[in-house]
Amino acid sequence: MDGSKGKPEVDLERMRHSCAHVLAAAVTKLYPQAKLGVGPAIADGFYYDIHTPTPLTSEDLPAIEAEMRRIRERKLPFVREEVAIDDAIAFMKSTHQDYKVELLDLLKSRGSTAAKGLDDPNLFENPAAGVSSVSLYKLGEFVDLCRGPHVEHSGQVGAFRLMRVAGAYWRGDNRNPQLTRVYGTTWANEADLKAYLFRLEEAEKRDHRKLGVSMGLFHIQEEAPGTVFWHPKGWTLFRTIERYMRTKLDNDGYVEVKTPQLVDRVFWEKSGHWENYRDAMFVAKPGKEGEEEDRLYAIKPMSCPGAVQIFRHGQRSYKDLPLRMAEFGACHRYEPSGALHGIMRVRAFTQDDAHIFCTEDQIPDESQKFCDLLRDIYKDFGFADLRVKFSDRPEQRAGSDEIWDKAESALEKGSSAAGLATTRNPGEGAFYGPKLEFVLRDAIGRDWQCGTLQVDFVLPERLDASYIGEDGAKHRPVMLHRAILGSFERFIGILIENYAGRLPTWLSPIQARMIPIADRHVDFAKDVARRLAHMQLPNGEGGVRIDIDASTERMQKKIRNAQIEQIPYMLVIGDKEAEAGKVALRLRSGKDLGAVTVEEAFERIAAEVGTRADIPVAP
């Protein structure tokens, strides 16, 4: 908040909410048959859900916005009026505001309009069930059910802009009719509004879908919706991350496995997936047309049932526990078409999955160990800001209360021992156990949930996993599902957006580019490139990933191209360098480090790769 500089404090939320009323007033004026849903303030602005006989489209927005400006100019007062709830219902009925009537009925009977997971902050809430009166706000002719508060008059709603329309289900339930949600943004003044729009444009430039394609990392095409074609550079990035993760897991006591992609549906029936997720699973029926094999296979949507098969193959002893079984599992899920988003939400993805088979007593230690590992890894990728959500027992759940008590406290113990504070997510756990969800914050303040740690005492039961205990009897292991990156695809998308394409050197598909100034320098440049490619970088990264721009372009153009590709190091070679056997080192920040020996250049790159440092960028 900057209320500094003697400026009057601005209550943006109040302005935004009032702006939603101005929008509603404008719409009801232009479309008298409009029925209103809810219209809260949200981050950066507001929305209002509206039903009109023919749905509003973006083409209608300019006229609505113009009407809103007229209302702003008239400086109409917001007038609060407390009325008996039955009077309010009668009034809303008389104006055919069916949705408002529905809300009022809820208020009357339950004292709250809370829908699942989302309670509308703009409406009256009464802890005691049932309310007898509600507040209405008048703005000129327009009357709305609302808790307030509002600015004094419509001249104070600030600088706004209607942004877009979208469909939204009434009360967030897809069985309900869909209203048109009009989104707007509101700021204290025109300058702030402009700054916001500028920020949006900047965020758009980070979009991994554009950057990833222009950086030559991957593409997606029509015939394979929601699945990624990884190009050489993108796959280099993928493999770099995979190699890094593998090393981390090797050092942390994991074993790695690979389980089948196609498994008979009978197997998924046993695991329970067929029943719950059949619609979201890809299936395959092999064989000649008309003579297909009489079995239906499903492509695995997740790796855990496969891991259990390996666990239960042969006998396990308590001495084998905890058994940390990792798999970079390629999973396929038939995600709803509207959910697909670049490489962040896809139908084929690779989880950095692992299943820890352990005893109940081992859960706290394993949780702590995992939290430590996860934080360590996030730090290496440049994410220091981490928060943890703790989702506890849902209403619908398997397992006794004792077991839940144990699992929940074990998870809490583990995360707090790792020095992580958790926020509670009541009732949001899986039916099979509680979970921790790890959320990282990126460079422009967006949150991404990536990691997860879930306790599961159902699947070992369903798939009959057991081990022989110290007592010689069979016992049921607990299974911890855990992921750090979540999926490689999504995590790479996050990395691209976090770094705006300027990946740290250790992750850059091309770390250095040779730029010979003239043809006569090409041979020397090739020689330098060869040498650097054969020197061993730390962390088992292999040689420097280097290429050479031997085109007939001018040096300036080659530099520009390397800049656009965000290559961390440019090694320029002309007569002076060839003579001295050196290279002129230029950073993508624009900094010119002058002529250095090949060894010096290597040391510099190696140091950066070794610390996984992010290179400072030009302002």
Partner RNA sequence: GCCGCAGUAGCUCAGGGGUAGAGCAGCGCAUUCGUAAUGCGCGGGUCGGGGGUUCAAUUCCCUCCUGCGGCACCA
Site for RNA, residues 242 to 271, rule: CB under 7 A: none
Instruction: Give the nearest distance from C-beta 163 to RNA in angstroms.
Output: 8
Residues 135-164 that bind RNA (CB under 7 A): 164
Burial of 177 (0-12, 13-18, 19+ CB in 10 A): exposed
Instruction: Give the nearest distance from C-beta 84 to RNA in angstroms.
Output: 32
Check if 450 is active-site.
no
* Segment lying near RNA (by CB under 7 A), choices 64-72, 310-318, 367-375, 548-556: 548-556
Comparing CB distances to RNA, the nearer of 366 and 549 is 549
Sketch the per residue contact string, 398 through 437, with RNA: x for CB under 7 A, - otherwise: --------------------------------x-------
Comparing CB distances to RNA, the nearer of 19 and 483 is 483
Check if 351 is active-site.
yes
Comparing CB distances to RNA, the nearer of 172 and 260 is 172
Residue of the chain from 195, 518, 607, 613 that contacts RNA (CB under 7 A): 518
* Segment lying near RNA (by CB under 7 A), choices 1-9, 381-389, 406-414, 546-554: 546-554
Q: CA 454, CA 415: separation in Å to the nearest integer?
A: 12
Paired strand residues for 137: 80, 144
Comparing CB distances to RNA, the nearer of 224 and 255 is 224
CA distances for 146 relative to 14, 103, 108, 113, 526, angstroms:
12, 11, 14, 12, 72
Report DSSP letters for 487-550, one per residue: EHHHHHHHHHHHTTT---TTT-SS-EEEEESSGGGHHHHHHHHHHHHHSPBTTTTBS--EEE--
Q: CA 406, CA 95: separation in Å to the nearest integer?
A: 55
**How many Å is the Cα radius of gyration of the chain?**
30
Residues 337-366 that bind RNA (CB under 7 A): 337-342, 345
- Burial code of 323-345, b = ≥16 C-beta within 10 A, e = fewer? bbbbbbbbbbbbbeeeebebbbb
Check if 536 is active-site.
no
Residues 560-619 that bind RNA (CB under 7 A): 560, 563-564, 570, 572, 574-577, 584, 586, 588, 590, 592, 595, 618
Q: CA 537, CA 608: separation in Å to the nearest integer?
A: 10
Element (H, E) at 483: strand 478-487
User: Contact between 57 and RNA (CB under 7 A)?
Assistant: yes
Comparing CB distances to RNA, the nearer of 72 and 333 is 333
Q: CA 73, CA 493: separation in Å to the nearest integer?
A: 45
SS3 of 26, please? helix
CA proximity to 105, closest of 26, 171, 24: 171
Q: CA 429, CA 449: separation in Å to the nearest integer?
A: 15
Instruction: Give the nearest distance from C-beta 419 to RNA in angstroms.
Output: 26
User: Contact between 233 and RNA (CB under 7 A)?
Assistant: no
Local structure of residue 37 (DSSP, 8 states): -
Check if 355 is active-site.
yes
Residue of the chain from 79, 188, 280, 403 that contacts RNA (CB under 7 A): 280
Residue of the chain from 174, 288, 402, 616 that contacts RNA (CB under 7 A): 174
Comparing CB distances to RNA, the nearer of 33 and 57 is 57
Catalytic residue among 144, 353, 549, 614: 353
CA proximity to 21, closest of 180, 192, 148: 148
Instruction: Give the nearest distance from C-beta 226 to RNA in angstroms.
Output: 5
Catalytic residue among 19, 146, 304, 358: 304
Strands (DSSP E) found in 395-458: 422-425, 435-441, 447-456
* Segment lying near RNA (by CB under 7 A), choices 6-14, 231-239, 275-283, 317-325: 275-283
Residues 210-229 that bind RNA (CB under 7 A): 210, 213-214, 220, 222, 225-226
Residues 441-460 that bind RNA (CB under 7 A): 454
- Cβ contacts of residue 305 below 8 Å, gap of 6+? 263, 267, 268, 270, 271, 273, 459, 463
Comparing CB distances to RNA, the nearer of 134 and 298 is 298
Residues 473-512 that bind RNA (CB under 7 A): 481
Q: Assess contact for 180 and 49: CB atoms under 8 A.
A: yes
Check if 146 is active-site.
no
Local structure of residue 6 (DSSP, 8 states): T
* Segment lying near RNA (by CB under 7 A), choices 50-58, 136-144, 372-380, 530-538: 50-58
Pair of tokens at residue 216: 């030559």
Residue of the chain from 3, 32, 55, 542 that contacts RNA (CB under 7 A): 55
User: Contact between 318 and RNA (CB under 7 A)?
Assistant: no
Check if 563 is active-site.
no
Catalytic residue among 324, 355, 502, 545: 355
Catalytic residue among 435, 545, 588, 612: 435
Q: CA 478, CA 455: separation in Å to the nearest integer?
A: 7
> How many CA atoms within 13 Å lie on the side-chain side of 36?
27
- List the catalytic residues: 304, 333, 351, 353, 355, 435, 481
